[in-house]
């Protein structure tokens, strides 16, 4: 009996193009690698060169049952990707979104317990013993921050990065220059300036002559 060709085959919630070969098509399912797909084909006696679009509904169901529960088909425990689960202690094989969910829970548990792996995860560092001296660097390069541009003078446009020269036209006086000019103002009325050191004032009689 000829099987009708399907352009899109749905296996365990994944849409696989019908023109793919069996091994390549099954590896499109997250959690199914090359060796796992090859073992499924050998157990079900399916031609590895067959296009996945020629699978019958019965073959699709048997493939899904093996992927969901490989231990029932006498798959060895070392073939599974979740051995000795922390919560149940059983050997499981995770597929599709269960992989990301389980990994995320494992990382959160490590962080909560404050283990060495959890601390490394919190700081975004390597966890499996890799070196971090020259690889795995994150963020931009560390260097001296560059200063901003100097505002140009009001009278004219100053060169970029150059300060206006002292006494130049259009240049505003500095704060220190303003304070110095205020101190040099004439003394108040009724106050005499003190004579300079080493000089004596002439007597009044000499002044009349």
Q: In Å, how far are 145, 172, 186 from 31, measured between CA atoms?
A: 47, 73, 93
Contacts of 60 (CB under 8 A, 6+ apart): 9, 11
In a domain, 173, yes or no: no
Return the pLDDT at 197: 57
- Model confidence at 158: pLDDT above 70: no
pTM above 0.75, yes or no: no
Q: Which domain holds residue 42?
A: 8-78
pLDDT tens per residue across span 104-146:
999 999 999 999 999 999 998 999 999 988 888 776 665 566 6
Task: Name the most confidently modeled range: 12-21, 138-147, 193-202.
Answer: 12-21
Q: Span 44-50, mean pLDDT?
A: 92
Q: Span 159-171, mean pLDDT?
A: 51
- Choose between 27 and 166: higher pLDDT: 27
- Model confidence at 5: pLDDT above 60: yes
In a domain, 45, yes or no: yes
**How far is it, in rounded angstroms, from Cα 65 to Cα 196?**
112
- Confidence band of 154 (pLDDT split at 50, 70, 90): confident
In a domain, 154, yes or no: no
In a domain, 54, yes or no: yes
- Choose between 8 and 141: higher pLDDT: 8
Q: How many domains does the chain have?
A: 1
Q: Span 7-22, mean pLDDT?
A: 93
Return the pLDDT at 68: 92
- Here the tokens at position 100 are 């990301």
| Crossing angle between the packed helical segments 57-68 and 34-44, to the nearest 10 degrees | 130
pLDDT tens per residue across span 79-113:
999 999 988 899 999 999 999 999 999 999 999 99
Q: What is the CATH number of the domain that holds 29?
A: 1.10.8.50
In a domain, 188, yes or no: no
In a domain, 72, yes or no: yes
∠ at Cα 174 (173, 175), nearest 5°?
Answer: 125
Which DSSP state fits 6? -
Return the pLDDT at 193: 57
In a domain, 171, yes or no: no
**How far is it, in rounded angstroms, from Cα 1 to Cα 54?**
12
Return the pLDDT at 1: 56
Q: How far is CA 120 from the centre of its chain?
A: 15
- Model confidence at 209: pLDDT above 50: no
In a domain, 27, yes or no: yes
């Amino acid at each position: 009996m000829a099987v009708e060709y399907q352009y899109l085959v749905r296996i365990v919630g994944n849409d696989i193009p019908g023109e793919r070969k069996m091994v390549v098509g099954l590896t499109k399912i997250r959690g199914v690698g090359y060796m796992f797909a090859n073992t499924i084909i050998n157990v079900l006696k399916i031609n590895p060169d067959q296009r996945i679009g020629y699978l019958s509904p019965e073959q699709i169901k048997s493939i899904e049952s093996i992927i969901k529960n490989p231990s029932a088909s006498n798959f060895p425990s070392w073939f599974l990707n979740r051995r000795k689960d922390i919560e149940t202690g059983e050997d499981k094989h995770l597929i599709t979104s269960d992989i990301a969910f389980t990994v995320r829970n494992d990382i959160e548990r490590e962080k909560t317990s404050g283990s060495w792996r959890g601390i490394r995860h919190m700081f975004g560092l390597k966890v499996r013993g890799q070196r971090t001296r020259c690889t795995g660097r994150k963020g931009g390069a560390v260097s001296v921050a560059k200063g901003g541009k100097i505002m140009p003078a009001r009278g004219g446009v100053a060169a970029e990065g150059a300060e206006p020269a002292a006494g130049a036209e259009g240049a505003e006086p500095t704060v220190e220059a303003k304070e110095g000019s205020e101190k040099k103002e004439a003394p108040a009325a009724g106050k005499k300036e003190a004579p300079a050191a080493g000089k004596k004032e002439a007597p009044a009689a000499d002044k009349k002559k």
